[in-house]
Amino acid sequence: MELKYGVNPYQKPARVGILTAIDNGQLTIDNDSELPFAVLNGKPGYINLLDALNSWQLVRELKVATGKAAAASFKHVSPAGAAIAGTIAEAYRQARYCDPVSSYGDWIALSDTCDEATAKIIRPMVSDGIIAPGFSAPALEILKGKKKGNYTVLSIDANYEPPEIERKDVFGVTFEQARNNIKITRDLLKTPVTKAWNIPDSAKLDLLVAMITLKYTQSNSVCYALDGKAIGIGAGQQSRLACTQIAGDKADEWLSRNPPAKPSTRQEIALASDAFFPFADNIDRAAKSGVKYIAQPGGSIRDVDVIYACDKYGIAMCFTDTRLFQH
């Protein structure tokens, strides 16, 4: 598929396709291989497709792990919000309002067929496009009317599985690695290493949402989750403390917009980190936002200090032994 341009307008030519190796080891696009998605409306750009393919993987994995409809709101190849719910319409509504400022002009991913109710929620939103495994006829007509008829709508083959090996090119050098196919399940939530040891099922569900969200977030990254929603995401920072602060500020803002039914109720937040916490200051910041449950890989030379900080705040923390970098 020929694209208008690449990441920037001056990066031409640009195209996407399926890569295959030829005899001399060089890579070429196989013009006979069909893409796993179809363009139903509009014309996707380079960044649109990066968002689409990453966000689709996120919502597909969320649905498999939780059994619920999942939606994500993506910006610049990282989620601004992600959520699970009983219906796909509610999942997207929740995902969009995790961080409505960052979601302005988002790319939308749905785990299930986009129905009319979901399309009506999307219609007034400022958004670049959507990917889903299917669209009802009324939903497609609604979405085709967005952006003066230029709204991008992609239908993804839900059964498509990519090759086990993935490649990318940087400065003329081709990188190759096994795809990140690790399954994020409750099995990763081992017995907490802290004095607080009980993690209820509701918190485990939130930790799954947070970890799967991080798997498709540019690293370094930290995610706060509550009631099946990623309410604060700190992405792409050089400092893990900055990730924790940014995500915590977003979570605080979400909490201010969504106070508990009983004013005296303290909502207990779950937090996941894509790599270990190097210092206890991350825990200090997390505690300010009401974090009570943490999942992180562990492995820092200061793990004892981090555990001590959790004990001070009554936080239950488990080590997953699983790093979730995305680059």
Q: Out of 68, 75, 204, 250, which one is annotated catalytic? A: 75
The mean pLDDT value for 275-296 works out to 97
Residues 6+ away with beta carbon under 8 Å from 204: 186, 189
Top-tier CATH class for 36-156: alpha beta
The mean pLDDT value for 144-153 works out to 97
327 as an active site residue: the answer is yes
pTM (2 decimals)? 0.95
Q: Out of 76, 144, 147, 288, which one is annotated catalytic? A: 76
The mean pLDDT value for 268-282 works out to 97
pLDDT at 191: 87
Residues 74 and 106: their CA atoms lie apart, in Å, by: 5
pLDDT at 99: 97
The mean pLDDT value for 85-92 works out to 98
For every residue of 290-312, DSSP letters joined together read TEEEEEE----TTHHHHHHHHHH
SS3 annotation, 224-236: EEECCEEEEEEEC
Q: So where are the chain's domains?
A: 36-156, 186-319
Q: Out of 63, 220, 229, 282, which one is annotated catalytic? A: 220
CATH homologous superfamily of 186-319 equals AICAR transformylase, duplication domain (3.40.140.20)
190 as an active site residue: the answer is no
pLDDT at 261: 77
215 as an active site residue: the answer is no
